[in-house]
Amino acid sequence: MAELKNDRYLKALLRQPVDKTPVWIMRQAGRYLPEYREVRAKAGDFMTLCSTPELACEVTLQPLRRFDLDAAIIFSDILTIPDAMGLGLHFVAGEGPKFNSVIQSAADIAKLGVPDMEDNLGYVMDAIRLTRREINGKVPLIGFSGSPWTLACYMVEGGSSKDFAKVKGMMFDEPKQMHALLDVLADSVIAYLNAQIAAGAQSIMLFDTWGGALSRENYQEFSLAYMQKIVSGLTREAEGRTVPVTLFTKGGGQWLELMANTGVDAVGLDWTTDIATARQRVGEKVTLQGNMDPCVLYASADRVEQEVANVLAGFGQGNTGHVFNLGHGIHPTIAPENMSRLVDSVHNISEQYHR
Ligand code: CP3
């Protein structure tokens, strides 16, 4: 395997000194890039794009050709696991993800098992292996999964939801049943992420997109406990390096200490949490990832640079412990030029904080 030429991102996650703040962006491969839309149109549908390793590899590499990013994230989706469990995932234009079968009862849950990683999800591992070859050591490759709670939200609701009526109904009425579902999901995520690491993923990100919809008590019992189990079950060393783990609960700003205590290397922040305060709360224990409001990219390029400076100043002096990112995924309608300005400003402006 080619030697890693830029390890700024991995070092910052492990709180080792770096020369500049590393930057990557959630959903950096996606619809705001015309070259993505072209490959996506050629693939026909989103799942074909995910499940064809050559195409998934191509769109993973696209943002690296345009921007001076410090990491790549394998192009896939968090909903590959429920799909591999037999739920039948498809995407309806304008409506987002949909499942053919939804989880409604204890009997539905009893039928679920941990999918076979090579038979049912081998396309993700093939995409990782191919991308590692093609990336040729330029930057590290991130593997990822949804959190059990976030996956359960889609599986019980049958798609996206605003109020989480069904999944929360199940959680409050049938907590044992919900725990059985979360258990099989946690075991699946552990097997999935360890297979990604074996295939070449050099860092892991857990997306808990809907953990923030829970009360503190329910978050601990139904989301955090399972992420804790996953963190404890992951392979943490590969190719002679530590494989760092980042946990991101959107809307989880009140629970940073709880997240930092799971044994993760980094915690992702959305833009509603002040990064300076967050650093005071957990800064020595974990690296912080984030946290510019994705909508800043709708403003002018000069305003983007100003806001990058604000986030970097918010984190402040110190030669490690910060990975720049947005507080959530990049929107499909922003101008790619603003993304260039963002990435370059992070590197240029952050140098002063690393002396
Ligand atoms: O970050 C990256 O560049 C890697 C790729 C990635 C995608 N989805 C590609 C994608 C990652 C890490 C995800 C994770 C994901 N998927 C999450 C967790 C992160 C988050 O945003 O909170 C969630 C909740 C999903 C589920 C999902 N997949 C949704 C809600 C949608 C949007 C549907 C829509 O039509 O807007 C998707 C589809 C999806 N996943 C797209 C991309 C680029 C857009 C699909 C397209 O090209 O038509």
Residue 3 placed within a domain:
no
Residue with tokens 């949909």: 98
Residue 257 placed within a domain:
yes
Domain range for 179 is 8-354
Q: Give the residue among 241, 247, 243, 216 at the shortest CA–CA distance from 148.
A: 247
Does the annotation count 27 as an active-site position? yes
Strands 287-292 and 266-268: parallel
Residue 42 placed within a domain:
yes
pTM: 0.97
Q: Residue with the nearest Cα to atom 5 of ligand 1?
A: 75
Residue 2 placed within a domain:
no
CB of 98 sitting under 6 A from ligand 1:
no
d(CA 16, CA 2): 22
Q: Residue with the nearest Cα to atom 10 of ligand 1?
A: 77
What six digits make up the tokens of 301? 């390029």
Q: What is the pLDDT of residue 1?
A: 79
Residue 228 placed within a domain:
yes
Residue 34 placed within a domain:
yes
CB of 236 sitting under 6 A from ligand 1:
no
Q: Give the residue among 276, 135, 152 at the shortest CA–CA distance from 222.
A: 152
Number of structural domains (the chain) is 1
Residue 1 placed within a domain:
no
Per-residue pLDDT of the chain (355 residues; tens, 9 = 90+): 789 999 999 999 999 999 999 999 999 999 999 999 999 999 999 999 999 999 999 999 999 999 999 999 999 999 999 999 999 999 988 889 999 999 999 999 999 999 999 999 999 999 999 999 999 999 999 999 999 999 999 999 999 999 999 999 999 999 999 999 999 999 999 999 999 999 999 999 999 999 999 999 999 999 999 999 999 999 999 999 999 999 999 999 999 999 999 999 999 999 999 999 999 999 789 999 999 999 999 999 999 999 999 999 999 999 999 999 999 999 999 999 999 999 999 999 999 999 8
Q: Residue with the nearest Cα to atom 36 of ligand 1?
A: 96
Residue 216 placed within a domain:
yes
What six digits make up the tokens of 191? 């097997």
In CATH, what number is assigned to the domain containing residue 247?
3.20.20.210
